[in-house]
Chains A and B, each alone.
Chain A
Amino acid sequence: MKHIQPVNRKAKRLAEWVAGSRDEVRALQDTDTPFGCTTVFAPGWEVDSGGGTHGLCQPIERDLYDCYHSCYWPAQVPDGLTNWPSWAESCGAPMNDWKNIDLVFP
């Protein structure tokens, strides 16, 4: 903030929170085109009406990639669209290479 400076301890916490929540909003706003599972029918994390996952994303690791490749939404996986485009490069065949996928530290 340019015009307001926090003074007491509570104000400092509030200012940190403001700064954090702004960045979050910007990350979503900076993409002009909507992408991802909200614009197409791509069931990912859900189960089917019978409670199973069998008829949904096949193979099961598609859950991972659906959010990673096409979505800007900060899900439980890094977003490949804006921030970590090379996150899954070391994982050519998920069935074999899944161990190469690492954590990211925003």
Chain B
Amino acid sequence: MKLRTRSHRRMPTRDGVFVYLPDSASIMRLDAEAVTVLDRFECREGLEAAEYLAETGRGRDAAAEVLEELCDVGAIRPVEEVRPPSSSLPPMPFPLATLVLNVSSRCNLSCTYCYEYGEDKLPGQGEGKRPASMSPETALRSIDFLFESARGRRDVSVTFFGGETLLNREAIEAAVDHAEGLARATEKRVHFALTTNATLLDDDIIAFLIDHRFGVNISIDGDRASHDRHRSFKSGRGSYDTVVPKIRRLLAAARGRTRPIGARVTLTRPLPNLRDLYAHLTHDIGFDEVGFAPVTSAPNRDHALLGDDYDDLLAQYSALADDYVAAALEGHRHGFSNLGDLLRELHEGVNKAHPCGAGLGLVGVATDGELGLCHRFVESEAHPIGDIENGIDEDRRREFLEKGHVNRKIECATCFARPVCAGGCYHEAEVRYGDASHPNLHYCDWIRAWTDLGLRAYARITDANPSFFQRFERTSS
């Protein structure tokens, strides 16, 4: 029988080699003998096991043992082994875990890059056909819908989104109150999260966020210069000086009493120095975590990131990753959350059938109660999947999820980044290719380089401080 090495990724460590096996998303440490055998079978047409064993002469038994182990873990497999491309879904209807409520499509800022119905809007979005704010009644009905659709699930989450979410405190407060009542009655646990531009934070709302243990994400782009470049009021005045004192108040009041509070930075051209920006947000302002997201926009915009910006971005992420590793080796946590999230997935061995929970465990609700695959699909004509009164249209949901399954994405079949990427964001694919289930092939190189960066950081940390990732096990359970 002819055998050959399956696609994998190697990470050198102090003694031996780590390999990442995307078929299972497992990470194994190989000794030198195992690496030799792996190398020998690295050929397209494969090699007869008997032929290889004959080659090894007197070392035959030992070689057979190594080969058997590599076959067992799936690093080497028969050439003609067919893996049926199963795109099977979990038992449907899948219980909902998270509902994202678009409580307001209005905003009190007018950031130049805003996607709230900007260039990457989908057909139907931003046409003014729906109320700008969600009514408290719709918010309550949405919560009912979540609890019904969550079935036996113990934990449910409600995320508030906008526009600027805090422009509609009425709906938020109504939803929280109702959800907590239902949670008590049904013995579930409910978690809340919200994204805000921080302009409307006052002592009242800060106390509310802390009392209900909100996970808070604040959009802020760095120091005054980087932040005010795009994040301004309608008058054109920058918002940095307004938001920073409010953020400081929130952070001081929340310390130790809520989940970590994160800064979400939108990256535009020209890219700032991310290390300095990270230091400013964590050290000077006091954020626990910082996550970066490149702006989504048409490529002809001045602020759009271009090809060489992405190379620069990767180099800068790499520098932040070095800081993360250095902190981890001393047993400290570091707040570069893009990397933290990736490492958590690599440590767990997440092997995604779908790129994200959209349409599966998560749906978005528009201001009028219509459902979308996620917050970025609400109000769009692409993939309507029901509304809170009549529930999810299960046929459409199933059809969408079957098409979006990673095994349907032929280009992804041999990609080592598949377990974490699974084709990437549906919304991005819908905008770029007019088809949400299309793999996002325009950024594969970048995703692979980023995944590789994560794997190497994981190997460096595990090699020198194996217990570091246990903290992730506690928090993820």
Contact = CB atoms under 8 A, between A and B. Distances in A.
Contacts of A1: 69, 72-73
A26 interface: no
B325 interface: no
B349 A3 contact: no
Interface stretch (A10-18, A32-40, A56-64, A78-86): A10-18
A5 B65 CA distance: 14
B348 interface: yes
Contacts of B346: 8
B34 A3 contact: yes
A9 B25 CA distance: 10
A8 B347 contact: yes
A14 B24 contact: yes
Nearest to A15: B73
Interface string B337-354: 000000000111111000
Contacts of A14: 24, 26, 73-74
A93 interface: no
A8 B69 contact: no
Interface in B69-98: 69-70, 72-74
B27 A4 contact: no
B73 A10 contact: no
A5 to B, nearest CB: 4
Interface string B171-197: 000000000000000000000000000
A3 B69 contact: yes
Contacts of B18: 7
A6 interface: yes
Pick the most buried of A5, A7, A10, A14: most chain B CB atoms within 10 A of its CB. A7
Contacts of A4: 28-31, 34, 69-70, 73
B65 A2 contact: yes
Nearest to B35: A3
B66 interface: yes
Contact of B69 (A2, A7, A9, A11): A2
A22 interface: yes
Interface residues of B, number: 28
B73 A18 contact: yes
Given A1-B72, A2-B69, A10 B34 contact: no
Contact of A10 (B24, B69, B70, B462): B24
Given A3-B31, A3-B34, A10 B26 contact: yes
B72 A10 contact: no
Contacts of A18: 72-73
Contact of B349 (A2, A5, A9, A22): A9
Contacts of B25: 8, 10
B302 interface: no
Contact of A11 (B28, B33, B34): B28
A8 B73 contact: no
A8 B26 contact: yes
A3 B25 CA distance: 19
A9 B347 contact: yes
B63 to A, nearest CB: 11
A7 B462 contact: yes
B34 to A, nearest CB: 4
Given A2-B65, A3-B66, A22-B72, A10 B349 contact: yes
B473 interface: yes
Given A2-B65, A2-B69, A8 B349 contact: yes
B69 A6 contact: no
A2 to B, nearest CB: 7
Contact of A6 (B28, B33, B65): B28
Q: Which 4 A-B pairs have the closest CB atoms?
A: A10-B349, A11-B26, A3-B34, A8-B27
Interface of A: 1-11, 13-15, 18, 22
17 contacts: A1-B69, A3-B33, A4-B31, A4-B73, A5-B28, A6-B28, A6-B29, A7-B18, A7-B28, A7-B29, A8-B26, A8-B27, A8-B349, A9-B473, A11-B27, A11-B73, A18-B73
Interface of B: 18, 24-31, 33-34, 65-66, 69-70, 72-74, 346-351, 458, 462, 469, 473
Given A7-B29, A10-B27, 10 more contacts: A2-B65, A3-B65, A4-B30, A7-B27, A9-B347, A10-B24, A10-B25, A11-B24, A14-B73, A14-B74
